[in-house]
Amino acid sequence: MNNILIIKNLSISFKKNKRVVNKVNINIPKGKTVAIVGESGSGKTLSALSILKLLPSSAKIDEGEIFYKKNNLLNLPTNEIEKIRGNKISTIFQEPMSSLNPLHTIQKQIQEIITTHNQVNKVELDKKTTRLLSEVNLNELSNRQKIYSYELSGGQRQRVMIAMSIANNPDLLIADEPTTALDVTVQQQILSLLNKIQKQRKMSILFISHDLGVVNKIADYIYVMKDGEIIEHGEKLEIFNNPKNPYTKQLVGFQNKIRKIQENKEIEILKIKDLKVWYPIKKGIFKKTVDYVKAIDVINFSLKKKETLGIVGESGSGKTSLVLAILKLISSSGTIKFDELDLNLLKKNQLKNIRKNIQIVFQDPFSSLSPRMNVHEILNEGIDVHFPDYSLVEKKQILKDILKETGMDYERDHNKYPHEFSGGQRQRIAIARALILKPKILILDEPTSALDITIQNQILDLLQNLQEKYSLSYIFISHDMNVIRSVSDKILVLKTGKLIEYNNADNIFKNPKNNYTKDLISSTI
């Protein structure tokens, strides 16, 4: 097979002599997409950065060769590498906002890439810029090229990055987690765009991701990386249908995980009827209300004991507004009935006991855990508020028990601060903080999206075990349909504040009624 790039026995270490990439071999055929899959710290990004000699100063290449058109890139001087960067080999990174210059217009940044490697007159330069924007489906910017990156949506910014990366017709495009920060529908659009461009230009792509669902959409060949080594590689179908390595089996198994629905959930614990969250638009001297922003517009659903309701929708769909309304953290109209009490009819002083019974775990535990409090103080805070009569001995025992339940150890961990833990451990602490009050409902707002897939799987298993043990009801918010499929009994689909679809999880996945739901499901394996 004709390979555009060959990586041979690549080994990378940091100055402290810690080897982070060990004897990696990767072949990238011409006109194909090769994916490197692995969790954070596996070495996939470092391997990619080494191609264009973009490693951080603290890293060094111990051994290996990287051949592009028979030239070993690692032996080329800086001036020769600079002729290749952004020209014959280009890159797209995860977060376009950090890659685009906020002080320069989109037009200037695209044209700068072109003129760095080519002599082009102004007329032809403008024409080429317009053609590139059209190629990445940004026709709406053709007459608005002098705008700035902060004026664009996340999907638009990523399309601009793709336009810049293909401006000089590269042989190889390195895409490092290019869809991670995007909504699932935008993510799908970007993947389709990359597929289209690759076929049109017969370009090779090195695609780096931790998400097998994404990789399945774009890759021809897959390399699985763990602890700095390639542990398995093969054609896409071979990896998905017949994985050999236990780690690969774990990754594939997680993607295909489906929750076994229990039909004995009869006790209705939460009922939402005609719920609205409308924000008034006021204009004029007298601030007269002229219209409303309808964050949530007439939604009805219920939640039973031990049931998990999955809520899906892209950013701006109303997911967060919905849970904030349930928690009585924002005003709403309609009925929020919990244990036969309408929360919208209760006064503030009557909500204290209710808050104990409805707790929330957020996406990023590092932001939700106080950096100035140790684990003991974080967990004890809720007990002090809701159970002030407990003795110190009783409180300590409760803390010990809940940390054990969530896979932590009191003696080892209680004096530590959030920054001393991994992301998975911090999320366990956040879950412990919520459960220590013995709630009936736990709202989980993207609780796994910031975690590697293996840690993600551990947290989901933990949540399932806790649900069974404590008869918890979950409201689980996620943009990841694979996660929603693995945890949900029922699914509620939101779009621009409206309920698009609401049904049993199995019915949603097997027979979606709405095109928007079909688009969301198309993001799964």
- Under 8 Å between Cβ of 461 and 493: no
- Under 8 Å between Cβ of 360 and 442: yes
Sequence-ordered strand ranges (E) for 284-423: 288-304, 308-312, 333-338, 341-342, 358-361
Strand, coil or helix: what is 334? strand
305-331+343-521: same fold as 3-253? yes
Tokens representing 346 are 């209760």
Start-to-end CA distance of the chain, whole Å, equals 28
The span from the CA of 395 to the CA of 145, in Å, is 61
Long-range contacts of the stretch 415-420 (C-beta < 8 A, 24+) = 415/374, 415/375, 415/376, 416/374, 416/375, 417/371, 417/372, 417/373, 417/374, 417/375, 418/365, 418/366, 418/369, 418/370, 418/371, 418/378, 419/366, 419/371
Cα–Cα distances (Å) from 288 to 284, 295, 332, 470, in that order, read 6, 20, 20, 49
Tokens representing 39 are 């969790």
81 burial level (CB within 10 Å; 0-12, 13-18, 19+): middle
pTM for the model: 0.73
The closest alpha carbon to 378, from 321, 333, 338, 436, belongs to: 436
The span from the CA of 414 to the CA of 408, in Å, is 9
The closest alpha carbon to 313, from 78, 501, 462, 466, belongs to: 501
In the numeric block, the tokens 């399309």 are attached to 159
The span from the CA of 55 to the CA of 326, in Å, is 47
Q: Give the start-to-end residue ranges of the domains of the chain.
A: 3-253, 305-331+343-521
CATH code reported for the domain at 3-253: 3.40.50.300
DSSP class of residue 148 equals B
Long-range contacts of the stretch 244-252 (C-beta < 8 A, 24+) = 248/224, 250/454, 250/457, 251/37, 251/212, 251/224, 251/453, 251/454, 252/212
User: What integer pLDDT is reported at residue 65 of this predicted model?
Assistant: 96
User: What integer pLDDT is reported at residue 474 of this predicted model?
Assistant: 96
The span from the CA of 415 to the CA of 44, in Å, is 35
Long-range contacts of the stretch 262-265 (C-beta < 8 A, 24+) = 262/306, 262/489, 265/304, 265/305, 265/306, 265/307, 265/489
Domain 305-331+343-521: give its CATH superfamily: P-loop containing nucleotide triphosphate hydrolases (3.40.50.300)
- Under 8 Å between Cβ of 217 and 35: no
- Under 8 Å between Cβ of 357 and 338: yes
Strand, coil or helix: what is 254? helix
Query: Strands 288-304, 268-283: parallel, antiparallel or unpaired by DSSP?
Result: antiparallel
- Phi/psi for 396 (5° steps) reads -60, -40
User: What integer pLDDT is reported at residue 144 of this predicted model?
Assistant: 85
Tokens representing 267 are 């006790």
In the numeric block, the tokens 């629905």 are attached to 261
Question: In 3-state terms, the chain is what percent helix, strand and coil (to 5)?
Answer: 40, 25, 30
Cα–Cα distances (Å) from 299 to 289, 302, 327, 478, in that order, read 23, 10, 16, 18
In the numeric block, the tokens 């833990």 are attached to 421
In the numeric block, the tokens 């590697």 are attached to 452
User: What integer pLDDT is reported at residue 282 of this predicted model?
Assistant: 85
264 burial level (CB within 10 Å; 0-12, 13-18, 19+): exposed
User: What integer pLDDT is reported at residue 17 of this predicted model?
Assistant: 67
Computed on alpha carbons and rounded to an integer, the radius of gyration of the chain in Å comes to 26
pLDDT, averaged per 10 consecutive residues of the chain (525 residues), comes to: 91 83 95 91 90 90 93 93 93 80 91 91 91 89 86 86 92 90 78 90 93 86 94 93 89 68 70 92 83 90 94 86 92 92 88 88 82 93 89 92 92 92 88 92 87 82 91 91 90 93 92 89 67
